Chains A and B, each alone.
Chain A
Amino acid sequence: MHTDKRTLAWLVAGILLVSITPLTMSAKAFAQSGITLNGAGATFPFPLIDEWRVRYQDVQPDVALNYQSIGSGGGIRQFTEKTVDFGATDAPLNANQTSSLPGQAVHIPETIGSVVAAYNVIGIPDKGLKLTGPILADIFLGKITKWDDPKIEELNPDLPLPAQDIVVVHRAEGSGTTFVWTSYLSKVSTEWEVQVGRGTSVQWPTGLGAQGNEGVATTIRDTQYAIGYVELAYALTTGMDFAFIENLAGQFIEPTLDSTRAAVAASAPTLPKGEESWSNVSLVNALGQESYPIASFSYLLLYKELSTNPQIDSVEKARALVDFVSWAITDGQEFADDLSYVPLPEQVVTLNQETLKGITFNGQPVIETTPPPPPEGEPFTVTTSLDGTSYTVTGTSTFTATEVDIIPEQYVRITFDGDGEVELTLPKAMIDGITTVKAGSETLDHEMVSSSASSTTIKFTVPEGSSVVDIQGAMIVPEFEFVALLILATAIVGVIGFTRFRGNAMGVGFGKRM
């Protein structure tokens, strides 16, 4: 009995330790970053936004991003209720939603989605099938029920279409993907428009409903003669079979990142300004020879006057939010390709930048129109090497840096031959997530000028009489996550080992009990 209690106590202590570890981790993260930006909404852009969350740490270590992918509807609701700093939605706000907002909102397209018609028919190879919008509408209306229907055969004379029933698969829950899909069907089929219409969820005349892209994909994969719709990114990463779709120009277009981008580019001239109504914006059935016809923006939602939302309580936070968004639509687009997202075309980026310029906080524009002047002086370059790799630091000032030293896992030391204002560009391979700049024991104010994937540019003033500056960052010290994982693993091993050693008194682990 006594050992039982002891073991229990240890076990509880162990569990507490394990459960507190992530808390301390996030506390540390919080301590590092003064500002947390909260967003919620669509699930479709979540992988991209999550990538941004990680990458933006390198750009702005002081700003943490927290995005909940709860669905477009939830995102709009939370944005309307002012519980998040920004919303995200796959469908633009409609008139009703706009009228229930507490203030004017802007749409910022942050990425592009396209939807493919995926199928599972024995004998029809990947991308072998050609379909048109009206045929898809008839299939989803339950009017075309056989794979060897004359309308399908006419388009695909070379394919061995089976005389089997078509199994229609759609999303069970409301989703932006459904919105895009039904928008397309409504555009190409009057009957669909009249009978069903477009929405994040609709009254499906026929078919199986499945949860999420995964559910639809799994159902199609496991059900012969099935056809359904999934996001392009999902279809590409899971290697599903999908159809060529006829576009407005009469071409059968393979859904790819490029053909989707072409559709956006073709539609770009007709896009409204960010603060205007976007409810009628649609990329489906876009003009252009190369345009894939089933595409749509995914949007970030911001209030034009950021102080509308009491969550945004300081000009610093307002600026952090706008800075993040403007990074996401420019530098952030670099990460889209790898994740099978379509990067925004130039025209849309420009449009977004115009929109961001119009955003205010307490009436003042958040983005400063005049960029900070570069420091006077001449550019210079210094190089150092460590473990066979050489690192180059460039800078601009009236004096030059003479030496760079890397103190592994602690800081980078730079020696100057003068004092005054200096702008330094440091490679990320050498130091990343710059936190502090010190001259001796004095901490210097530093300004983040810019950041790219490979380097960070900062600006600070070398105080009079000092010539040595130490720069500390997140990357040169061992990563905290690693330490935390180590603690966690030790705790788990310890608890298990202890209970084992204690003769299995808690019944942890099976074995002796039975």
Chain B
Amino acid sequence: MFLGKKRKGDRIFRWVVIGASGYTLLMLVLVAFSVIEGAIPVFSLEGLSFFIGTDWNPVEGRESYGALPYVIGTLVTAGIAMVIGVPISLGIAVFISEIAPPKVGTPVAYVIEVLAAIPSIIYGLWALLVFRIWLLDLIERPLYQAFGGTLPFFAKAPFGLDVFTAGIVLAVMIIPIISSISREILKAIPNSQREAAYSLGATRWETVRKVLFPYAKAGLLGATVIGLGRAVGETILVTMVIGNALGIAAIPTTLFSQSNTISSVIASQFNEAVTPFHSSALIALGAVLFVLTMGINIGAQLLVSRMVKVVPGGRE
């Protein structure tokens, strides 16, 4: 009796679990299906040149759509965010978990957690109303005045609404996320590793760089990829500060160029996309973003799995 009952419960559990996993698969199939279906009209118009096209003309009768500028805009802003955000995030994580005494580290960690929970629109508003003006006055203009004439990177009069601002604000947004995850990962490293390093006469910095980072690199890479995913997919914040150029004008030629990201174009244009081609082009952009994020995730997983081969760690 008892055994039979237990088995029945097991069977139900099994089906519930199978159903739950089937749900994710079903959702994936449904999303893929509707995205592909929705994207058909624009491919009938543009063909595969949609991917490399630089035009974005929604005016009826002249319609022409190309995804390239927004792919570039997405990668550039996310890249700037990562270049700035990752070192700072790791620095914060190391400070909290390795250097700061608990009296300092705990409140700082708490504040970081709070920052990580702030919705991105808040960062967007702050960036639009306050931060971009600081950035313009304190960084962009001085850079432009110093290098505008010599370095092509800076050769455009800045307004504070450009890929540079978008990248930095994205960095500000992802720093709490990456640093709080990284802190957890560093915290999970057994103390014996630190002691081993210190006992060999390693300084704090050497311990962090030569022992802790290598030990935790898979986890830290994971944290970074989560940050990258957020940066690539972030919509509203980017829309508010990137300058929202369209078409060929959206390919950033300098750090101070206006641009647009895939998700930002979708967000700003979908409501008023009245022609079938226009909405289809936006759906196709969604598909591109889908592929892009999937590519990033797969790439990151390959990287992690290659790293993990060197880290059996099972015996620790």
Contacts and interface: CB of A to CB of B under 8 A. Distances in A.
A197 B267 CA distance: 22
Contacts of B133: 222
B128 A215 contact: yes
Interface string A68-88: 001111101100000000000
Contacts of A196: 59
A1 interface: no
Given A209-B243, A223-B160, A203 B273 contact: no
B272 A215 contact: no
A383 interface: no
Nearest to A199: B59
B244 interface: yes
B29 interface: no
Interface in B36-78: 55-62
Contact of A204 (B132, B159, B246): B246
A74 B282 CA distance: 14
Interface residues of A, number: 39
Interface string B272-298: 111100000000000000000000000
Nearest to A72: B272
Contacts of A77: 274
B272 A203 contact: no
Interface in A26-56: none
| Residue from the set B62, B247, B264 with the largest chain A CB neighbour count within 10 Å | B62
Interface in A395-425: none
A154 B129 CA distance: 35
Given A167-B159, A223-B159, A175 B272 contact: yes
A202 B239 CA distance: 17
Contacts of B273: 73, 174, 201
A38 B132 CA distance: 40
Interface string B108-145: 00100000000000000000110011000000000000
A514 B113 CA distance: 14
B107 A172 contact: no
Contacts of B58: 174, 199-203
Contacts of A74: 271-272
B158 to A, nearest CB: 10
A218 interface: yes
Nearest to A173: B268
A208 interface: yes
Contacts, number: 108
B110 A514 contact: yes
A198 B59 contact: yes
A211 interface: yes
Interface in A183-240: 196-211, 215, 218-219, 222-223, 226
A96 interface: yes
B157 A73 contact: no
A467 to B, nearest CB: 59
Interface in A96-153: 96-97
A427 B169 CA distance: 57
B107 A514 contact: yes
A447 interface: no
A94 interface: yes
Contacts of B157: 165
Contacts of B274: 72-73, 76-77, 97, 174, 200
A201 to B, nearest CB: 5
B110 A203 contact: no
B131 to A, nearest CB: 11
Contacts of B264: 172
Contacts of B160: 222-223
Given A74-B271, A172-B244, A208-B258, A219 B161 contact: yes
B193 interface: no
Given A72-B272, A73-B272, A173-B268, A208 B129 contact: no
Contact of B59 (A73, A76, A202): A202
Interface in B80-110: 106-107, 110
B249 A202 contact: no
Given A199-B58, A215-B128, A209 B246 contact: yes
Interface in B253-267: 258, 260, 264, 267
B35 interface: no
A96 B59 contact: no
B245 interface: yes
Contacts of B203: none
A97 B264 CA distance: 26
Contacts of A211: 239-240, 244, 268
A209 B244 contact: yes
B165 to A, nearest CB: 11
Contacts of A223: 159-161
B305 interface: no
Nearest to A95: B60
Contacts of B258: 207-209
Nearest to A167: B159
B34 interface: no
B60 A96 contact: yes
B239 A514 contact: no
A71 B62 CA distance: 22
B269 A201 contact: yes
Contacts of A203: 55-59, 246-247
Given A175-B272, A203-B57, A218 B245 contact: no
Contacts of A206: 249
Contacts of B132: 222
Nearest to A172: B244
B15 to A, nearest CB: 30
Contacts of A198: 59
A249 B60 CA distance: 30
A450 to B, nearest CB: 38
| Residue from the set A96, A206, A211 with the largest chain B CB neighbour count within 10 Å | A211
A215 B243 contact: no
Nearest to B58: A201
Contacts of A197: 57, 59, 61-62
B272 A200 contact: yes
B249 A204 contact: yes
A173 B272 contact: yes
23 contacts: A71-B271, A73-B271, A172-B239, A174-B58, A174-B269, A174-B273, A197-B61, A200-B58, A201-B269, A201-B273, A202-B57, A203-B56, A203-B58, A203-B246, A203-B247, A208-B258, A210-B244, A211-B240, A211-B244, A218-B129, A219-B161, A223-B159, A223-B161
Interface of A: 70-74, 76-77, 94, 96-97, 165, 167, 172-175, 196-211, 215, 218-219, 222-223, 226, 514
Interface of B: 55-62, 106-107, 110, 128-129, 132-133, 157, 159-161, 239-240, 243-247, 249, 258, 260, 264, 267-269, 271-275
Given A174-B268, A211-B240, A211-B244, 10 more contacts: A72-B274, A77-B274, A167-B159, A198-B59, A199-B59, A203-B55, A204-B246, A207-B258, A209-B244, A215-B240
| Top-8 shortest CB links A-B | A174-B272, A209-B244, A172-B244, A71-B271, A173-B268, A73-B272, A197-B59, A200-B272
